[in-house]
Chain A
Amino acid sequence: MSARYFGAAVARVEDPRLLAGRGRYVDDAVLPGMLHAAFVRASMAHGRIRNIDASDAKGMPGVVAIYTMADFAGIAQGAMPPMAPHPLLPTPITYHPLAVEEVCHVGEAIAIVLADDRATAEDAAAAVLLDIEELPAVADAVLAWKAGAPRVHSKRPSNIAASLKAGFSDCDAVFAKADHVLTERFDIHRGGCHSMECRGVVASVDPHSGVLTLSTSSQSPYMVRRHLATYLGRDESEIRVMTPDVGGGFGPKANVYPEEFAVALAAIKTGRPVKWIEDRQEHFVATTQQRGQVWTLDVAFDNDGRMRAIRGHCIHDNGAYAPYGLILPATALASFPGPYALEALDLTIDVVLTNLVPTSPVRGACRPNAAFLLERLADRIARHLGIDRQQVRRRSFVRADQMPYSTGMKARDGSPISYDSGDYIAALDLVLDKIGAAGFEARRAAAADRGKLLGLGIASCVEDTGLGPFEGASVRVTPAGKVVVSTGASSQGQGHRTAFAQIAADALGVELNDVMVETADTSRFPLGMSTIASRIAVTAGSSVELAAQKVRAKAIAFASHKLEVGEQDLELEGGAVRVKGVPGMNVSLSEIARTLAGNVGISLPGGMEPDLAATAYFNSTALTFAYGANACEVEIDPETGDVRVVRYVVVHDCGKLINPLIVDGQIRGGVVHGIGNALFERMIYDEAGQPLTTTYADYFLPLASEMPPIEIHHVETPSPRNPIGVKGAGEGGTIPAAACVISAVENALGSNAPFIHLHPISPQQVVKWLERTASAAKA
Chain B
Amino acid sequence: MTGKHLTFTLNGEPRETSADPRTHLADFLRYGLGLTGTHVGCEHGVCGACTVIVDGVPVRSCLMLAVQIDCCTVETVEGLANGDELSPLQQAFSTHHGLQCGFCTPGMLMTLEALLRATPSPTEHDIRMAISGNICRCTGYQGIVEAALAAAAVRTSTP
Contacts and interface: CB of A to CB of B under 8 A. Distances in A.
Contacts of A117: 31
B25 to A, nearest CB: 14
B145 A21 contact: no
A246 B140 contact: no
Given A196-B136, A704-B128, A245 B102 contact: yes
Contacts of B133: 703
B21 to A, nearest CB: 12
B95 to A, nearest CB: 6
**Contact residues on A (Cβ < 8 Å of other chain), bracket:** 35 or more
Interface stretch (B2-10, B39-47, B63-71, B114-122): B39-47
B38 A12 contact: no
Contact of A709 (B23, B80, B134, B142): B142
Given A12-B94, A280-B43, A695-B46, A672 B140 contact: yes
Nearest to B109: A19
Interface string A19-33: 111111101101000
Given A20-B77, A21-B78, A703-B135, A671 B99 contact: no
Contacts of A15: 93-94, 99
B94 A11 contact: yes
A442 B118 CA distance: 40
Interface in B99-126: 99-106, 109
Given A20-B80, A20-B86, A196-B101, A280 B44 contact: yes
A188 to B, nearest CB: 20
Nearest to B92: A19
Contacts of A119: 22-23
A662 B131 CA distance: 22
B138 A20 contact: no
B103 A196 contact: yes
Contacts of A673: 137
Interface in B137-152: 137-145
A25 B106 CA distance: 13
B90 interface: yes
A668 B23 CA distance: 37
B53 interface: no
A668 B42 contact: no
Interface string B19-50: 00011000000110011111111111011010
A197 B99 contact: no
A705 interface: yes
Among B134, B136, B142, max chain A CB count under 10 A is at: B142
Given A669-B139, A704-B132, A704-B145, A18 B78 contact: no
Nearest to B135: A701
A661 interface: yes
* Secondary structure type dominating chain B contacts: loop
Nearest to B129: A705
A23 B137 contact: no
Contacts of B97: 11-12, 661-662, 664-665
A584 B34 CA distance: 51
A25 B105 contact: no
* Secondary structure type dominating chain A contacts: loop
A695 to B, nearest CB: 5
B72 interface: no
A493 interface: yes
B140 A248 contact: no
A250 B44 contact: no
A127 interface: no
Contacts of A695: 42, 44, 46
A279 B95 CA distance: 32
Contacts of B22: 119
A494 interface: yes
A248 B134 contact: no
A15 B141 CA distance: 16
B103 A197 contact: yes
Among B97, B109, B127, max chain A CB count under 10 A is at: B97
A556 to B, nearest CB: 35
Contacts of B46: 695-697
A247 B106 CA distance: 12
B76 interface: yes
Contacts of A703: 132-133, 135, 141
A650 to B, nearest CB: 11
Contacts of B134: 704
A15 B104 CA distance: 13
Contacts of B77: 19-21
Nearest to A119: B22
B154 interface: no
B42 A696 contact: yes
B89 to A, nearest CB: 9
A765 B128 CA distance: 27
Contact of A27 (B36, B101, B136, B139): B36
Contacts of B129: 705
Nearest to B37: A21
B153 interface: no
A25 B41 CA distance: 12
B66 to A, nearest CB: 12
Contacts of B44: 280, 695-697
Interface string A192-203: 001111100000
A198 B135 CA distance: 13
A668 B127 CA distance: 18
Given A23-B102, A697-B44, A16 B94 contact: yes
B22 to A, nearest CB: 7
Contacts of A245: 101-102
Contacts of B38: 21
Nearest to A123: B22
A493 B103 CA distance: 9
Contacts of A696: 42, 44, 46-47, 135
A707 interface: yes
Given A27-B36, A248-B137, A19 B132 contact: no
Interface in A707-729: 707, 709-710
Contact of B144 (A23, A248, A704): A704
Given A23-B37, A248-B137, 17 more contacts: A19-B80, A19-B99, A20-B86, A21-B80, A23-B36, A23-B102, A24-B36, A194-B137, A196-B41, A196-B137, A197-B39, A248-B101, A492-B101, A669-B137, A669-B138, A707-B140, A710-B142
14 contacts: A11-B94, A21-B37, A21-B80, A23-B36, A25-B39, A196-B49, A196-B136, A197-B101, A247-B41, A280-B47, A669-B136, A695-B42, A707-B140, A709-B142
